[in-house]
Amino acid sequence: MILLSIGSFNSCIKTDLTPVLSGITSLKSQNDSLLNMVINLKKSLDSLQVQANTNTGLLIGLNARINNLQTSISSLLTSINSLNTKIDTLNNNLDSVIVKLKGITTQYQALSTQISSVFNALSVKIDSLSLQVAGNTSGINLLENQYLKTQIKVDSILLIVLNNNQLLTTNSSNIALIEQQLLQLTSQYSNILSLLNQLIALINNQAPSSLNIGLVVYYPFTGNAIDSSGNGYNGTVTGATLTADRFGNANSAYNFTGASQYISTSYAGISGTTDRTFSLWFKQSTLNNGSNEWPLFNYGGSTQGFAAMIFPASTPTASNKIGIDIGNSYVVYNPTPVLNQWHHLAITYSSTFGTNVLACKIYLDNSLLSTVATQFNPTLTLNTLTGVLNLTIGANPSLSTAQFLGAIDDVKIWNRVLTLSEIAYLGTH
């Protein structure tokens, strides 16, 4: 009985422990899976680190290429200056040879005239003396002497003529050689200019790497309104439709054709008096003949916001011109942008420029606008309030008539003031 009880007890214990052992085995399997996930995650992080190092190397290599190109341009400019000096020297030599050649030609013509005159006079004398030969021996001797003297003069003249002909031949050869050298130099100069233009074009088409510094949002509108800055401030499209951009690329810009068409974003905007730069391309399709401003973009509070506007015809001095509105204060500049034509707009502000809307700098197609068309309350302090209206492109959702009509593309915002060269690049690409 005791043995049976112990055996029965062992059987019960084994039965009770089986689920526990199974649970432990399951936990160990899960622990192994988690361990593998951690190992794979570390491999991914290592791969990302390698990619980051590779990108850094590419950036360094790109800067080195640009430096090499600049060095090549300097060398080419030096070669061009040297070639120009040689061309000037050859031109001077050619001018000198031409002057000498003209002098020799003049002498040759004079000598030819003298020869003709001498031979004509000689013929007359020979004819005259021939009449006296029959009965006048002394006349014959005189004739012989005069003939000998004349022959000497003729030989002398012929020698001069031969020397002049030889000089003419030599100078002609020199002129031909100079012309050949000039043609060669011209060809070399054209080749160098072509290479230089290619290098300049290559450099001009290379985007400055600094444009990524301080970039907060970037909407290229290539098929959607996703923020390509990497900060995740994606846009939501309401009513607007995709259209061709300034290069003719389909579905690469957004077109706004009526009320309640805009792109709202999750970006609150740059607040206070912080430095900022805005850049975008726009093509206005219709005149603003209404009474409300048309926002290209706007954000912030109604009395402390920040917006770029196309002003209405109801303000005659500002009709369809570009201005900055900061809420209860605005400034509008000449000239009026051309309808149905792509224009680049860049706006910069820094508290070092000033403390009001007049401190904002507007660049239209790379030209700084300086002629004020009209202004309102321009001395009001600029202090942008955020958290009311997030960055909105193409309209003010609260006003159905505050609607831009046309196309907008490549909207970018930086939290710094861009340089003139950076703005110039954006305005040509």
DSSP states along 17-64? HHHHHHHHHHHHHHHHHHHHHHHHHHHHHHHHHHHHHHHHHHHHHHHH
**Interatomic CA distance for residues 249 and 244, integer angstroms:** 5
**Interatomic CA distance for residues 273 and 359, integer angstroms:** 11
CB–CB of 409/245 below 8 Å?
yes
pLDDT score at 2: 39
- Closest by CA to 242, choosing from 392, 412, 408, 401, is 408
CB–CB of 377/307 below 8 Å?
no
Question: Tens digit of pLDDT for each residue in 214-262?
Answer: 999 999 999 999 999 999 999 999 999 999 999 999 999 999 998 899 9
Question: Tens digit of pLDDT for each residue in 149-178?
Answer: 767 876 777 788 677 777 777 767 777 777
Sign of CA dihedral 381, 386, 387, 390: positive
Q: How far is CA 414 from CA 41, 43, 282, 326, 417, in A?
A: 33, 34, 18, 18, 7
Is the per-residue pLDDT at 1 higher than 50?
Answer: no
- Chain centre to alpha carbon of residue 292: 36
pLDDT score at 226: 98
Question: Tens digit of pLDDT for each residue in 307-327?
Answer: 999 999 999 999 999 999 999
Identify the structural domains of the chain with CATH numbers, from first to last. 67-204 (1.10.287.1490), 215-426 (2.60.120.200)
> How large is the average pLDDT for residues 391-405?
91
Q: In the structure encoding, which two tokens stand for residue 325, read together?
A: 């509105």
Is the per-residue pLDDT at 423 higher than 70?
Answer: yes
> 68 pLDDT band (50/70/90 cuts)?
confident
Is the per-residue pLDDT at 187 higher than 50?
Answer: yes
- What is the length of the chain? 429
Backbone φ and ψ for 363, nearest 5 degrees, come out as -115, 120
**Interatomic CA distance for residues 96 and 101, integer angstroms:** 9
Enumerate the β-bridge partners of residue 376. 330
- Closest by CA to 255, choosing from 229, 292, 293, 286, is 286
- Chain centre to alpha carbon of residue 354: 30
Question: Tens digit of pLDDT for each residue in 103-158?
Answer: 767 776 776 677 677 667 767 766 665 565 455 555 556 656 766 776 787 677 77
**Interatomic CA distance for residues 195 and 187, integer angstroms:** 12
The C-alpha R_g of the chain, in whole angstroms, comes to: 46
